[in-house]
A and B are shown apart, each in its own frame.
Chain A
Amino acid sequence: MTRVLAKGSKAEGARVPMDEPTSLPAVAAPSLEAGSMTGRQLGRYVVGGVIGKGGMASVYLAFLRSSAGFEKVLALKCIHDSLASDDAFVNMFLDEARIASRIGHSNVVQIFDFGVDRGTHYLAMEYLAGVPLGSLVKRLEGRIRQPRHRLMLLRAVADMCEGLHAAHTLKDDEGRPMAIVHRDVSPQNTFVTFEGTTKLIDFGIARARERLQRTSTGVLKGQFAYSAPEHVKAEDVDHRADLWSIGVMLWEVLVGERLFLRDGAAQTLFAVTKDMIRRTDALDPTVPRALADVVARCLTRERTRRFASARELGRALHDASEALGRWPTRPDLAEWLAEVMPGAEAAQQANVKRAWTMAKSESPATPQRARWFLAVPFALTLVGAGTAAWYAAGERARTDAATSDAPASPPVMEAPAPPAEPVPVPQEAETADPTAASMELPSRSRTPRMRQRMRKQARAPMASGQLTLVTPNGWAEVWLSGRKLGVTPLRTSLSSGQHVLQLRPFGHTPVQRVRVDVPSGGTVRRSVRLRR
């Protein structure tokens, strides 16, 4: 349900967006797929694959290009084309850039640059190799009460408090407080890198007094379950609203359950404003009393009784955790993360390499429109060269069919034919290309056949298309192979090929099966009447 309530982009750094923490993938390495910007050059950046999508923007892996080639990996948030003409959205996007770029702190994601190129607004930010705290909590389900895990998570939260404090106390050029409130502090917006650094991300709805533009609707856009009571009641909020959110995170980390999340948004809102909050040490006697006091102080609905600052809260956390053991260092956190999320770092590295390949396999300096004009002669040249090589190797001429296919779909000439069996959607980066290491070879040392094979391997998992599905006489859940794709009406990406979808009218059985054939790069549209 929070999909509707989610704000612009929930995709940033290297996280999987839009999901409730309860449905996060086991391994948080992002899936990587080609997007509309892949291969383009935006400003100084060459764009690779998509690592996250939200309602407002998509986040791409990108590379800062120097005269010597690609050098720096970063994340590029690009506002959707459909919103580029909407001034309110663009202003919100730019506000995020302006605010976040002023906060120079190691516990806040760094914004390098923002701009517009051929109508595409983009935000260049630090690429975060790591996992959201929410994924860690999910991964530790059933084990989260172990003191070591608790300590590590508390350390991560305490570090985040420092970043938040930097934002809260930020001043403008004339020394006036900017009164920044994040308003969406949550486990999904708290990122732990493989180096053991915690980063607070997504100041997309943060508000500063100096802010030039505000969201006009006044609609609450954060995740309710972590929003402060005064926030959900649409009262004025200040930095103490963020301290409440941290309190909710702490409660959940210590207890291992969701505090306010309910079945419906209204129930969640009610719970935030009215429900009794049980002390963590009452629910679990192993929680030190001092720690339970810290959480309780954050979760008081009278905000004047909360901590005065995020820094004070972070220090209190540190002091109250003494009873659990030695306060972890940053390397401790990094080692622990590697234990808890085995293979995640390697998977993300593989994704970076694959994104690099995607970016390089396109002509970065060539505008997209021009590429189509170049593609036909390029394809014909390839066919000619391939045919000559074929003959030279003593093969029999079997190239007529290939030649006749060439002009119809020139860019596909380098790609494999669609596989007979559907290619699984790349859900987790553990499925990343096993030949990733070979991609580091200098391009000149590769033979044409090698290059072609590598391109096939790089592109094969991305053969996908779009499904749009409507059920005009009622809503339905849509499932595929035991995985819930969403609810109707729905537009989603699927691997190309045939699939049998299961529709559950109004979320219930009996299911209704629908066969779809998703074309590679195309869209299949289905309107299905539910049997009731």
Chain B
Amino acid sequence: MRRTIAASLLALSASVSAQDAREPNAVDLAEAAYNAAEFEAAQAHLRDAVDGSLTRSDVVRLLVVRSLVGFATGDFGALERDLLALVTLQPEYALGVRAPPPMHDALDRLRAQVSRPLGVRVELTPFAGGVRLQAVVTGDASGFVETITMAARNVGGAWRRAEGDSLMLPTVAPHDIEYYAEARGPGDAVLARDGAAEAPQQVRVQAPVAQGESTTPRLSMSAKAGIAIGAAALVAAVAVLIAVLLRNGDDSIRPQGPFLE
């Protein structure tokens, strides 16, 4: 059996080196162990992988191998979690021929439950002397995101970084700022991002109109329209109410007291 693993690893390293000349990582080793029917060894490598350093595509492969091992060992709870994570990461992912029909069925079912893929976006709220950046993770049905990292800077300035979902950036409005946010998962892999260090999002921060009022550039047109219509409706309702009350001659219901004084 060790020969089988060795053969798998040889084949693996040959294909890997042909592709991108990199060393096999823990996911590669797990896959080799799985192909040799060494499920315990595969699980050990997968645990190492989670503690190591992975790319997003590594994570997808990790989930596939781990779900296959989960199927083989009857660990169906873990299997479902991994398949759910898989479809949140790659909604169109198709399992290959080595996965048996029950896994395909389960993946299809879970795919139907996932309304949107994993993503992260940043909302900005200016305040006097700066802007607050808030990262919002969406579509994380499997609770796969472990950490969020954010960075922001005034254009031409130094990056200000944060581990977490919010960041305060001092700035004097109006001013252009750049930012990005990354949602990270197993192996510190970046699972979703809004901007990137090398291609950050850029936005002009306006001075806050009033205390607490958001000027986030991401406020949609429909939301703005809704607010305007709502305010107009409120003013109209108050005007109608006052008119009705004033037209009525009965003193007993005429507004009294400090309101009209």
Chains A and B are bound partners: yes
Interface residues of A (CB under 8 A from B): 1-8, 18, 53-56, 80, 82-83, 86, 89, 216-221, 234, 264-266, 269, 468-475, 487-491, 506-507, 525-527
Alpha-carbon separation in the docked complex, A82 to B76 (Å) = 12
Alpha-carbon separation in the docked complex, A23 to B51 (Å) = 41
Interface residues of B in 64-81 (CB under 8 A from A): 68-69, 71-81
Q: Mark B82-112, 1 if CB is under 8 A from A, else 0.
A: 0010000000000001111111011011101
Does B138 touch A at the CB level, under 8 Å? no
A491/B101 in contact, CB under 8 A? no
Known contacts A4-B103, A470-B34; can you find 16 more A-B pairs with CB under 8 A?
A3-B74, A7-B77, A8-B77, A55-B79, A83-B75, A86-B78, A217-B143, A218-B141, A219-B80, A468-B72, A475-B101, A487-B101, A488-B98, A491-B73, A527-B4, A527-B35
A89/B77 in contact, CB under 8 A? yes
Q: Mark B5-37, 1 if CB is under 8 A from A, else 0.
A: 000100000000000000000000000001111
Alpha-carbon separation in the docked complex, A220 to B110 (Å) = 9
| Contacts A217-B81, A470-B37 given; does A265 touch B108 at CB 8 Å | yes
* Residues in chain A near residue B76, CB distance under 8 A: 3-8, 55
A216/B35 in contact, CB under 8 A? no
A526/B102 in contact, CB under 8 A? no
Alpha-carbon separation in the docked complex, A269 to B101 (Å) = 16
Q: Which of A2, A471, A489 contacts B71, CB < 8 Å?
A: A489
* Residues in chain A near residue B8, CB distance under 8 A: 527
Alpha-carbon separation in the docked complex, A450 to B20 (Å) = 67
A265/B105 in contact, CB under 8 A? yes
Does B179 touch A at the CB level, under 8 Å? no
* Residues in chain B near residue A18, CB distance under 8 A: 74
B106/A265 in contact, CB under 8 A? yes
Does B1 touch A at the CB level, under 8 Å? yes
Alpha-carbon separation in the docked complex, A86 to B109 (Å) = 24
A525/B38 in contact, CB under 8 A? yes
Alpha-carbon separation in the docked complex, A1 to B37 (Å) = 22
| Contacts A468-B37, A525-B36 given; does A475 touch B97 at CB 8 Å | yes
Interface residues of B (CB under 8 A from A): 1, 4, 8, 34-39, 68-69, 71-81, 84, 97-103, 105-106, 108-110, 112-113, 141-143
A217/B141 in contact, CB under 8 A? yes
* Residues in chain A near residue B142, CB distance under 8 A: 216-217
* Residues in chain A near residue B143, CB distance under 8 A: 216-217
The 7 A-B pairs with the shortest beta carbon distances in the complex, nearest first, are A489-B72, A55-B76, A265-B105, A525-B37, A475-B100, A487-B100, A4-B102
Alpha-carbon separation in the docked complex, A219 to B100 (Å) = 20
Shortest distance in angstroms between B103's beta carbon and chain A's nearest beta carbon? 6
* Residues in chain A near residue B98, CB distance under 8 A: 471-475, 488-489
22 residue pairs of the A-B complex, CB under 8 angstroms, read A1-B101, A4-B79, A5-B106, A18-B74, A54-B74, A80-B75, A86-B78, A216-B142, A219-B84, A264-B101, A264-B105, A468-B37, A473-B97, A473-B98, A475-B99, A488-B72, A488-B100, A489-B39, A490-B72, A525-B36, A525-B37, A527-B8
Q: Which of A4, A54, A89, A506 contacts B106, CB < 8 Å?
A: A4
B37/A527 in contact, CB under 8 A? yes
* Residues in chain B near residue A264, CB distance under 8 A: 101, 105
Alpha-carbon separation in the docked complex, A80 to B79 (Å) = 15
Q: Which of B39, B75, B80 contacts A217, CB < 8 Å?
A: B80
* Residues in chain B near residue A490, CB distance under 8 A: 72
A4/B80 in contact, CB under 8 A? yes
- Which residue of chain B has the shortest Cβ distance to A532 in the bound complex? B97
Q: Which of A89, A219, A469 contacts B113, CB < 8 Å?
A: A219
- Which residue of chain A has the shortest Cβ distance to B76 in the bound complex? A55
B77/A55 in contact, CB under 8 A? yes
* Residues in chain B near residue A217, CB distance under 8 A: 80-81, 84, 141-143
Alpha-carbon separation in the docked complex, A6 to B78 (Å) = 12
Shortest distance in angstroms between A378's beta carbon and chain B's nearest beta carbon? 29
